[in-house]
Amino acid sequence: MGMITLKEYAERLGKNPVVARQKAQRGTFQTARKIGRDWFIDEDEPYEDARIKTGDYIGFKYGYQYHKQRKAIKEAQLAAERAAAEAAALAAANDTQEDSDRLDAIVDYDGPLHRPGETPEEFMARLEEDGSTAE
């Protein structure tokens, strides 16, 4: 836990000495001390990067609430699109069953009906056995 010059500290970390001096002047470093005209700092002092890297600053000129609202709207739109895609996929998978159910509900017919899974040949053979006619 020795004190070294700020320039040496910056060079060890691969940082610009001018930027390190500016951070020391602002009070960002806890152990930085100015002795005469030179700055000294503890060699174990962590170099913290205070830049915002998450994108939270986007929309700052409109205020933080504006940004939060836009983010919530975008998330809701994405969720709605995902739900619509899932519903379309489910409808495509169940399309044959739904068509069959709709036809059963729509048809108001007293004659013989085509049974689910029955081929046209089987349907005609069944009609001939029953003595019915299909028109």
pLDDT score at 126: 79
Query: Has residue 68 got a pLDDT over 50?
Result: yes
CA distance 99 to 35: 86
Do 134 and 127 meet the contact criterion of CB atoms below 8 Å apart? yes
Q: Does pTM surpass 0.85? A: no
Higher local confidence (pLDDT), 2 or 132: 2
Rounded Cα distance between 13 and 15, Å, is 6
Number of H helices, E strands in the chain: 5, 3
Q: Which of 44, 16, 22, 50 is nearest to 34 (CA)?
A: 22
